[in-house]
Amino acid sequence: MSTTVETRTAEFRDYVKKITSYTQALNVLYWDKATQAPRNGMDARSEIIGTLAGEQFKLATSKEMEALLTELSEPSVLETLDEITRHSVLECKKEFDRNKKIPADRHQEYVVLTAKAETVWEEARANNDFSMFQPYLEKIVNFQLEFIEYWGHDGKNKYNTLLDMYEPGMTVDQLDPIFATLREKTVKLVKAIADSPNKPDTSFLTKNFPVADQEAFSRYILEKIGYDFKSGRMDRSAHPFCTTFNPGDVRITTRYAENDFNSALFSCIHEAGHAMYEQNINPELLFTPLCDGTSMGIHESQSRYWENMVGRSLPFWNHFFADLQKAFPTQFEGVSVEDLHRAVNAVTPSFIRTEADELTYNLHVMIRYEIEKGLINQTIQVADLPKIWNEKMKEYLGVEPPTDTLGVLQDVHWAGGMIGYFPTYSLGNVYAAQFVHVMENEITGYEELIANGDFAPIREWLKEKIHQYGKMKSPRELVQAITGEGTNATYLMNYLEKKYTDVYKL
Amino acid sequence: MSTTVETRTAEFRDYVKKITSYTQALNVLYWDKATQAPRNGMDARSEIIGTLAGEQFKLATSKEMEALLTELSEPSVLETLDEITRHSVLECKKEFDRNKKIPADRHQEYVVLTAKAETVWEEARANNDFSMFQPYLEKIVNFQLEFIEYWGHDGKNKYNTLLDMYEPGMTVDQLDPIFATLREKTVKLVKAIADSPNKPDTSFLTKNFPVADQEAFSRYILEKIGYDFKSGRMDRSAHPFCTTFNPGDVRITTRYAENDFNSALFSCIHEAGHAMYEQNINPELLFTPLCDGTSMGIHESQSRYWENMVGRSLPFWNHFFADLQKAFPTQFEGVSVEDLHRAVNAVTPSFIRTEADELTYNLHVMIRYEIEKGLINQTIQVADLPKIWNEKMKEYLGVEPPTDTLGVLQDVHWAGGMIGYFPTYSLGNVYAAQFVHVMENEITGYEELIANGDFAPIREWLKEKIHQYGKMKSPRELVQAITGEGTNATYLMNYLEKKYTDVYKL
Ligand SMILES: [Zn+2]
Ligand SMILES: [Zn+2]
């Protein structure tokens, strides 16, 4: 490496350290707003978040950044860089190019539009009035179509350009067969479950569970599975989330409902799954753009793995059932561990994605995937969405939302301009099942470990194979390296078929 | 106003909005670090605080800022500006000039030195080893002397330049007679108290007070006196503090000791006094450098007023005694309101300033004032501080610290380069007594209001006379406008003589 390159590398590292410092600060400001800030401080808080985000955007798109990236991404230079810097340069360049290709005035208009659209969406949802939201969504789709032209596309499917933002390398060609498998097998399974006379009793899950007891039990479980409270904390917010300031400070939030045992506990385990990913990223990646999960799909594979494949498994409850009964003696009186396992795995087609069970969840996602693909390929018009939405709900889930509030208006994603994000929710499930298949082969006594509450070997495996890398490996590289194949929905369907055959005695 | 001036004014307002956004963000980051952040996240947190503070410093000292200030502070332009902008320009200019006069490399060296000195001071204090800290303090004093040359001084006393940073307009010429009055009367009073046979019984204050009960009672009192929890919150930290993000979000912290009724409650009232100041600043000052207390002394007058002149008064406890007995029935069994009032006003010369009673507190401050004055005028050598410290303690308080840990090493201020700050603690007491004297004349039934727990008229008075202005009025202007005179320690001494004559039946 020449002295100039060395100097410029150091400057680049300093520069991205500065940019990632803003990310950390903004995450703190946002977390505090969602969990701690008093009502009267909200407006000023939103303003400073906007101001600092603007400052960060300026840094990330500056002439200085451009010069550094141009010099360091020169192939003859790039190959001399250490691995972390090389990946950082490539990651920043991707981001920089994406930002720079959009004319500044169009970007600004789009930011204003989506901010406004989120407010309008809230109102439209509250009033069950899709026509209010429709013109905004139309503009957002048109912006996305315009942006895709600036960004470029692979000539196969314009939607691929959007998918790549959330799941690098993911394409319609890969997703179509995945969802075809999910659709065919899930719809069949849902039907069989509906016809089964062996429905689990879920009534005890909606007894009274005092919030303080739920919180204590959730904390206990998270400590046991290995969420590190010395590197995080658990608070309350309107909607559960996980946020990372640095690997030593990864926080999760949840909300409690006194008459619902399910929601808080499993949402805590879910968020802890996200958090354990970030807590275990190689600390050397701190202050680089690589100190983050590699994709939304891989991130979701970690949360869904812990929530469903561990947390809703029979071995897990065989281990924790005594603790559960100690924590809630009256609520689970006369309930067996099998009863509990069946109850937390009950399947009920319903309207709202975020409340869906493990099985029908993918059908909710698929509906959104099909609609997004249609919108971006201009085979579906925004005006027809309520009708299309309800038809698809009827077809795949067998239920039809009585209102758009419970239908097409339920998610904020599109109002915020997030088109291409939804598929990552199902990809998370697909990846997780693929990883479990490998773990069963590679980790001795995998199921016994869960039954013994000995999660360390599992965490070690996840850390070694996935977590440590952050964004150093792409999702495709990870999946290929771990499983020896590409994305494959068969494992997920095998897992689900096995689970529900058992739960519903099919 | 010309169009150019109008444009430049708008640019200036935007620019200071950006700078104050950093202040708000940094305060959130610091608050979170002190109250919420998990152990493992601390190092990265400190780094991003350093990075963002550096970015803010760049903005505040930029060519752009210089150009704006030069244009807008031109007398013919300045007089055309609206009042808020005019004061903002002057405030920023003062800060800008102060920063710009120090050569960048010397500033950088100084920042590194004080960061290191704080660490060394901690160790020196832990090991009772002044000689460890001595070379650092010597360097800090030399830096201050060098900086005073850059900043300039009034030719009367170099120490005035430092005083002005914390209490604009304050000088040795004003402080010397104030401390002379305090010294003469306080020493006499302390002696009389020591000789009094009527010592209050304080034993019930150190019974067991469960932390949760203390917290609940403190919250109750703060709500009653008018700290607005919709514009703030109360948390725990190692050392109590108050921090402002914006007037709608002013937070306080405290710490609890299970065997000490005094410490948490009165520290909460103290911090709430600071907080009510900032909660009541005119919201139009948000995002200007004026949205802050006008000086350390005036700030402290608000906290000490609520803590001591309200919170430790007999009318206050006449009102709250029933609530207190309800909250702690066993602890205060057989205790009368007079007993309580006397106990919370007990005077005991002791070693540590932050634990000192209301009366001897000013003697602790005076010792530091005299030493600082001597250091900056080079009549006292750092090497002699332990000896000088102990002599003064002996002379004024009649007690001699057995170690430097309990003596000259107890405060962090000098390690952080804060020389000239200490006098503001006593100025707070002095101002507060002056304000009380006016309130007694201007607010009908002043004492009855406290005895009735009706604090609204007092809060309104404070808001109208002090709080609303933020930094729009200097401390001198405020004091002059409210009291019709300058700083005058007589009111404080009259108040203290009256209180202790009563408490100790002198
Ligand atoms: Zn998730
Ligand atoms: Zn204070």
Query: Tens digit of pLDDT for each residue in B476-504?
Result: 999 999 999 999 999 999 999 999 999 99
Tell me how far the alpha carbon of residue B148 lies from the centroid of ligand 2, in angstroms: 27
C-alpha count within 13 angstroms, C-beta hemisphere, residue A135: 4
Q: How far apart are CA A371 and CA A327, in angstroms?
A: 44
- Are B420 and B372 a contacting pair, CB within 8 Å? yes
Let me know if residue B95 belongs to a domain.
yes
What mean pLDDT do residues B214-240 have? Answer: 97
pLDDT of amino acid B2: 78
Tell me how far the alpha carbon of residue A486 lies from the centroid of ligand 1, in angstroms: 22
Let me know if residue A340 belongs to a domain.
no
User: Beta-carbon neighbour count of residue A505 at 10 Å?
Assistant: 12
When CB atoms are compared, the residue of A28, A41, A45 closest to B32 is A28
Q: How far is CA B107 from CA A291, B101, B132, B152, B413, in A?
A: 33, 10, 23, 16, 18
Let me know if residue A240 belongs to a domain.
no
Q: Is B271 a catalytic residue?
A: yes
Q: What percent of chain A has pLDDT over 70?
A: 100
- Are B104 and B57 a contacting pair, CB within 8 Å? no
Q: How far apart are CA B5 and CA B89, in angstroms?
A: 13
Indicate if the pLDDT at residue B268 is higher than 70.
yes
Tell me how far the alpha carbon of residue A296 lies from the centroid of ligand 1, in angstroms: 9
Chain A hits for B42, CB-CB cut-off 8 Å, are 248
- Are A319 and A338 a contacting pair, CB within 8 Å? no
- Are B182 and B433 a contacting pair, CB within 8 Å? no
At B28, is the pLDDT very low, low, confident or very high (cuts 50, 70, 90)? very high
The domain of A12 spans 3-101
Nearest C-alpha in B relative to A250: B41
Which tens digit of pLDDT belongs to each residue from A107-147?
A: 989 998 998 999 999 999 999 999 999 999 999 999 999 99
Q: How far apart are CA A186 and CA A492, in angstroms?
A: 10
Q: How far apart are CA A452 and CA B206, in angstroms?
A: 48
Q: How far apart are CA B93 and CA B77, in angstroms?
A: 14
Of the bound ligands, which one is closest to the alpha carbon of residue A424?
A: 1
Indicate if the pLDDT at residue A200 is higher than 70.
yes
Chain A hits for B232, CB-CB cut-off 8 Å, are 38
Which tens digit of pLDDT belongs to each residue from A279-301?
A: 999 999 999 999 999 999 999 99
Of B13, B16, B27, B28, which to mutate for an interface test with A (greatest number of A Cβ within 10 Å)?
B28
Asked if B287 and A29 come within 8 Å (Cβ–Cβ), the reply is no
Asked if B21 and A51 come within 8 Å (Cβ–Cβ), the reply is yes
Residues facing residue A246 across a β-bridge = A249
Q: How far apart are CA B419 and CA B141, in angstroms?
A: 8
**SS3 call for A295:** coil
Nearest C-alpha in B relative to A40: B248
Nearest C-alpha in B relative to A286: B44
| Nearest CA-CA partner of B419 in B384, B383, B476, B376 | B376
Let me know if residue B48 belongs to a domain.
yes
Residues facing residue A249 across a β-bridge = A246
Q: By the CB < 8 Å criterion, does A25 face chain B?
A: yes
Sequence-ordered alpha helix ranges (H) in A344-422: 361-376, 385-392
Q: Which helix (H) or strand (E) holds A279?
A: helix A261-279
Chain A hits for B231, CB-CB cut-off 8 Å, are 38-41
Q: By the CB < 8 Å criterion, does A28 face chain B?
A: yes
Tell me how far the alpha carbon of residue B387 lies from the centroid of ligand 2, in angstroms: 28
- Residue from B79, B83, B184, B271 carrying the catalytic annotation: B271
pLDDT of amino acid A3: 79
Let me know if residue A461 belongs to a domain.
no
Tell me the binding residues of B for Zn(2+): 270, 274, 300
- Are A231 and B40 a contacting pair, CB within 8 Å? yes
Strands A242-246 and A249-254: antiparallel
Tell me how far the alpha carbon of residue B390 lies from the centroid of ligand 1, in angstroms: 61
What mean pLDDT do residues A38-49 have? Answer: 93
Let me know if residue B52 belongs to a domain.
yes
pLDDT of amino acid A333: 96
Residue A465 gets which letter from DSSP?
H
Q: How far is CA A292 from the centre of its chain?
A: 13
Chain A hits for B22, CB-CB cut-off 8 Å, are 52
Let me know if residue A442 belongs to a domain.
no
Q: How far is CA B269 from CA A336, B131, B274, B431, in A?
A: 53, 38, 9, 18
Indicate if the pLDDT at residue A1 is higher than 70.
no
Q: By the CB < 8 Å criterion, does A394 face chain B?
A: no
Nearest C-alpha in B relative to A50: B21
Chain A hits for B32, CB-CB cut-off 8 Å, are 28, 32
Let me know if residue B67 belongs to a domain.
yes
Chain B hits for A230, CB-CB cut-off 8 Å, are 38-40
Asked if B38 and A287 come within 8 Å (Cβ–Cβ), the reply is no
Tell me how far the alpha carbon of residue A242 lies from the centroid of ligand 1, in angstroms: 8
> How many domains is chain A built from?
1
Q: What percent of chain A has pLDDT over 90?
A: 97
Task: For ligand 1, an ion, list residues with CB under 5 A.
Answer: A 303
Q: How far apart are CA B388 and CA A112, in angstroms?
A: 64
Residue reference for tokens 């360091």: A72
Q: How far is CA A325 from CA A263, A329, A427, in A?
A: 18, 5, 35
Q: What is the number of H-type helices and E-type strands within chain A? A: 21, 3
Indicate if the pLDDT at residue B129 is higher than 80.
yes
Asked if B17 and A248 come within 8 Å (Cβ–Cβ), the reply is no
Of the bound ligands, which one is closest to the alpha carbon of residue B427?
A: 2
Distance (Å) from the C-alpha of residue A445 to the closest C-alpha of chain B?
Answer: 32
Indicate if the pLDDT at residue B1 is higher than 80.
no
Asked if B40 and A287 come within 8 Å (Cβ–Cβ), the reply is no
Return the sign of the alpha-carbon dihedral for residues A187, A192, A195, A197: negative
- Are B44 and A246 a contacting pair, CB within 8 Å? yes
Mean pLDDT of chain A: 97
C-alpha count within 13 angstroms, C-beta hemisphere, residue B306: 29
Chain B hits for A34, CB-CB cut-off 8 Å, are none
Say whether pTM exceeds 0.80: yes
Of the bound ligands, which one is closest to the alpha carbon of residue B275?
A: 2
Asked if B36 and A41 come within 8 Å (Cβ–Cβ), the reply is no
Of A24, A57, A62, which to mutate for an interface test with B (greatest number of B Cβ within 10 Å)?
A24
| Nearest CA-CA partner of A49 in A21, A23, A20, A29 | A29
User: Beta-carbon neighbour count of residue A9 at 10 Å?
Assistant: 22
Pairs from A400-404 (Cβ < 8 Å, separation ≥ 24): A401/A351, A403/A128, A404/A125, A404/A128, A404/A129, A404/A130
| Nearest CA-CA partner of A186 in A3, A21, A363, A429 | A363
Q: By the CB < 8 Å criterion, does B286 face chain A?
A: yes
pLDDT of amino acid A104: 87
What mean pLDDT do residues A82-100 have? Answer: 97
- Residue from A91, A95, A138, A271 carrying the catalytic annotation: A271
Tell me the binding residues of A for Zn(2+): 270, 274, 300
| Nearest CA-CA partner of A12 in A206, A259, A289, A257 | A289
Which tens digit of pLDDT belongs to each residue from B34-48?
A: 999 999 999 999 999
Task: For ligand 2, an ion, list residues with CB under 5 A.
Answer: B 303
Chain A hits for B18, CB-CB cut-off 8 Å, are 51, 55
Asked if B286 and A44 come within 8 Å (Cβ–Cβ), the reply is yes
When CB atoms are compared, the residue of A25, A38, A233 closest to B233 is A38
Return the sign of the alpha-carbon dihedral for residues A9, A14, A20, A24: positive
Q: How far apart are CA A286 and CA A284, in angstroms?
A: 5
Tell me how far the alpha carbon of residue B456 lies from the centroid of ligand 1, in angstroms: 48
CATH code assigned at A63: 1.20.58
Tell me how far the alpha carbon of residue B216 lies from the centroid of ligand 1, in angstroms: 36
Asked if B45 and A230 come within 8 Å (Cβ–Cβ), the reply is no
pLDDT of amino acid B504: 97
Asked if A48 and B21 come within 8 Å (Cβ–Cβ), the reply is yes
Residue A289 gets which letter from DSSP?
T
